């Protein structure tokens, strides 16, 4: 999926503690360095995904998120800061990510995923982490990931609950298999705590790292559901929809 890139001595020092992970090691780190990940958007969920991926040593992040930082972002969007209020969200994200990892390549688009940009955004990435709030954006990324046969980690949260699944086109159900239509009564603004968004984000980032480095078992065809009110976690086995309008008939490459 990604071309490994050899590490420098500086990088060996920075990633020393994760190089000790069996099955990951220097080969896994080199794959992370060679990888490009699309994260959309970079709010409470995507911002933390991007931060963890930057910390772990992913080579390139492609970030799409429109608009400027608002006060109501600051309870959970940890890449946004008070001095960034009223300024571009992706620029705030870029600055904070490069503070953490100056070796990182960050490509930003100050727009949300849309029909006009999704093909190119997905084309530029090896893997997609979907953290978008609007189902329209999520369906677009899902459709394009399936078309281009790229893995997509689907992260979602609501109140104190999280849902996480990994879509491997042609092998697992896609988002449209699971939910052919968005909920009729969906509201754009919903209750959420930053720590809950961050939990979903750290789990999603871990999935992305595993997929890129090629170790562990992804949530393929399974959905992790968690309710942090009572800290209960379960994994649900999912079904593919043979007549899915997005992935019906698609086979693994």
Partner 1 sequence: MRLTMIYTTQVKALLGQSTEQIDTDNLGLGAQFSAAQLLTALAAQHGAAFGQMVLDPGGQPAASLLVCVGDEQAATAGPLTVRDGDTITLLSAISGG
174 binds, among Zn ion, partner 1, none (CB under 5 to 8 A by kind): Zn ion
Scanning 92-100, 101-109, 186-194, 242-250 for contacts with partner 1 by CB under 8 A, the matching segment is 186-194
In angstroms, the Cα distances linking 230 to 131, 161, 226 are 24, 10, 9
Q: What is the pattern of x (binds partner 1, CB under 8 A) and - over residues 223-242?
A: x-x-x------xxxxxx---
Q: Which is nearer to Zn ion, 7 or 152 (CB)?
A: 152
> 10 to 49, contacts with partner 1 by CB under 8 A?
41, 43-46
Using alpha carbons, select from 64, 63, 97 the residue that is nearest to residue 80: 97
Cα–Cα distance for residue pair 180/187, rounded to 1 Å: 18
3 state SS of 69: strand
Q: Which is nearer to Zn ion, 61 or 146 (CB)?
A: 146
Cα–Cα distance for residue pair 192/169, rounded to 1 Å: 30
- Using CB under 8 A, which of 130, 151, 198, 212 touches partner 1? 130
- Using CB under 8 A, which of 190, 214, 216, 233 touches partner 1? 190
3 state SS of 41: coil
Q: Which is nearer to Zn ion, 205 or 247 (CB)?
A: 247
Q: What angle in degrees, to the nearest 10, is found between the helix axes of 194-213 and 46-56? A: 40
CA quadruple 156, 161, 167, 171: dihedral, nearest 10: -160
> In sequence order, what are the beta bridge partners of 227?
161, 232
Scanning 11-19, 56-64, 79-87, 176-184 for contacts with partner 1 by CB under 8 A, the matching segment is 176-184
The footprint of partner 1 (CB under 8 A) covers 41, 43-46, 130-135, 138, 155-159, 161, 163, 178-186, 190-192, 197, 200, 223, 225, 227, 234-239
């Amino acid at each position: 999926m990604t071309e490994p890139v050899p590490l420098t001595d500086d990088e060996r020092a920075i990633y020393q503690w994760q190089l000790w992970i069996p099955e990951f090691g220097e080969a896994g780190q080199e794959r992370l360095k060679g990888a490009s990940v699309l994260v959309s958007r970079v709010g409470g969920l995507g911002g933390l995904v991007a931060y963890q991926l930057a910390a772990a040593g992913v080579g390139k992040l492609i970030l799409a998120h429109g608009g400027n930082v608002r006060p109501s972002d600051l309870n959970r969007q940890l890449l946004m800061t008070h001095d960034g209020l009223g300024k571009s969200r992706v620029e705030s994200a870029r600055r904070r990510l490069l503070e953490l990892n100056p070796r990182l390549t960050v490509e930003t688009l100050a727009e949300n995923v849309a029909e006009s940009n999704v093909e190119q955004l997905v084309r530029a990435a090896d893997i997609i982490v979907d953290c978008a709030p609007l189902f329209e954006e999520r369906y677009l990324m899902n459709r394009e990931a399936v078309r281009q046969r790229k893995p997509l980690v689907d992260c979602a949260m609501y109140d104190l609950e999280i849902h996480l699944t990994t879509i491997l086109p042609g092998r697992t159900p896609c988002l449209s298999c699971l939910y052919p239509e968005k909920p009729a009564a969906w509201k754009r603004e919903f209750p959420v705590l930053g720590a809950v968004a961050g939990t979903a984000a750290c789990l999603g980032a871990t999935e992305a790292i595993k997929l890129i480095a090629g170790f562990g078992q992804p949530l393929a065809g399974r959905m992790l559901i968690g309710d942090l009110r009572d800290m209960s976690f379960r994994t649900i086995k999912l079904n593919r929809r043979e007549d899915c309008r997005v992935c019906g008939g698609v086979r693994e490459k």
